[in-house]
Amino acid sequence: MSIEPSNPADDHHVAKLFGAMLMVVGVLIMTLCGICSAGVLVMAIFAATQSLGSGLGLLGTDLVVGGLPFGVGLVIFIVGKGLRREPPPRSS
């Protein structure tokens, strides 16, 4: 019983599929964090206009709490996009 070496073309199809899944996860993270951050930003601006300066403290928190996961989603998306690229041709 022998184990056949895997076909490099099949490996690339798996990498492309995994890259597509990573891109979808990255877009979902960025979208959900962006929507949540936009909502908090609107509420902070509304609170700041109602009473001077009380809502402005939320802006920094919004950038940290919503911005960091957005950045992680962006990195996941970029890694997935890199996996979907065609491999360079082999020179033999």
Domain presence at residue 66: yes
27 in a structural domain: yes
Q: What is the pLDDT of residue 91?
A: 72
Is 69 inside any structural domain? yes
Whether 92 is covered by a domain: the verdict is no
Residue 91 counted as domain residue: no
Per-residue model confidence as pLDDT tens digits over 68-87: 999 999 999 999 999 888 77
Residue 33 located in a structural domain: yes
Inform me whether the pLDDT recorded for 34 exceeds 70. Answer: yes
Of residues 80 and 64, more confidence is placed in: 80
pLDDT score recorded for residue 72: 95
- Determine the Cα–Cα distance for residues 40 and 56; give it in Å rounded to an integer: 11
**Cα–Cα distance, 76 to 25 (Å, whole number):** 8
Structure tokens at 26: 């990255």
pLDDT at 8: 60
Asked, for residue 5, whether it belongs to a domain, the answer is: no
Q: Which of 75, 64, 65, 85 is nearest to 25 (CA)?
A: 75
**For residue range 44-54, what is the model confidence (pLDDT) as tens digits?**
788 777 776 66
Domain that holds residue 51: 10-84
Residue 90 lies in a domain: no
Residue 59: the pLDDT is 76
Is 81:19 a contact under the CB 8 Å cutoff? yes
Mean per-residue pLDDT for 28-57? 81
Alpha carbon distance 89, 9 (integer Å)? 12
Query: How many structural domains is the chain composed of?
Result: 1
